[in-house]
Amino acid sequence: MTNLSDKKPEDTKVLVVGGGFAGMCSAITLSKLGYQVDLIDLDPEWRVYGAGITINGTTLRAYRHLGMYEEIAEKGAIVRSTLLYRADGVVLREMAVAETVGEEPATAGIMRPILHEMMSSRVRQAKVSVKLGVKVETLVQSDTSVTVTLSDGSTGTYDLLIGSDGIGSDIRQMVFPETTGAKPMGQGCWRIAINRPEGMDKGEIYFGHKFPAGITLCGPDAMYMWMLTPDDGSLWVDDKEGVSMLHDRLEGFGGNIGWIGDNMNESHWVNYRPLEALIQPKDSWVKGRVVLVGDSAHATTPHLASGAGMAVEGAVVLSQELSKEGQSIDDALTAYVDRRYDRCRDVVESGVQIGKAQLANMPPEELGQLMGGALHRLAQPF
Ligand X SMILES: Cc1cc2nc3c(=O)[nH]c(=O)nc-3n(C[C@H](O)[C@H](O)[C@H](O)COP(=O)(O)OP(=O)(O)OC[C@H]3O[C@@H](n4cnc5c(N)ncnc54)[C@H](O)[C@@H]3O)c2cc1C
Torsion angles phi and psi, residue 140, rounded to 5 = -130, 130
Residues in Cβ contact with 49 at an 8 Å cutoff, skipping those fewer than 6 apart: 112, 269, 271
Interaction of residue 164 with ligand X, rule CB under 6 A: yes
The answer to whether residue 274 forms part of the interface with ligand X (CB under 6 A) is no
- Of 104-163, which residues contact ligand X (CB under 6 A)? 135
Binder of ligand X out of 9, 307, 351, 355 (CB under 6 A): 307
Nearer to ligand X, 3 or 120 (CB): 120
Give the number of other CB atoms < 10 A from CB of residue 242. Answer: 19
Per-residue binding letters, 5-34, with ligand X (x by CB under 6 A): ------------xxxxxxx-----------
Give the x-and-dash track for 174-213 against ligand X (CB under 6 A).
Answer: ---------------x------------------------
276: helix, coil or strand? strand
Of 116, 114, 27, 132, the C-alpha closest to 75 is: 114
Least distance to ligand X, CB of residue 307, Å: 2
66 binds ligand X (CB under 6 A): no
- What is the C-alpha separation between 375 and 52, in angstroms, rounded? 20
Q: Does residue number 76 form part of the binding site for ligand X (CB under 6 A)?
A: no
Identify the DSSP state of 64.
H
Q: Which DSSP letter does residue 377 get?
A: H
In angstroms, what is the minimal distance from the CB of 297 to ligand X?
8
State the Cα–Cα distance between residues 188 and 301, nearest whole angstrom.
9
- Candidates 232-240, 251-259, 277-285, 306-314 — which segment interacts with ligand X by CB under 6 A? 306-314
Size of the site for ligand X (CB under 6 A): 30
For residue 334, the number of C-alpha atoms closer than 13 Å in the C-beta half-sphere is: 5
Which residues contact ligand X by CB under 6 A?
A: 17-23, 40-43, 53-54, 59, 135, 164-166, 170, 189, 273, 294-295, 302, 305-309, 311
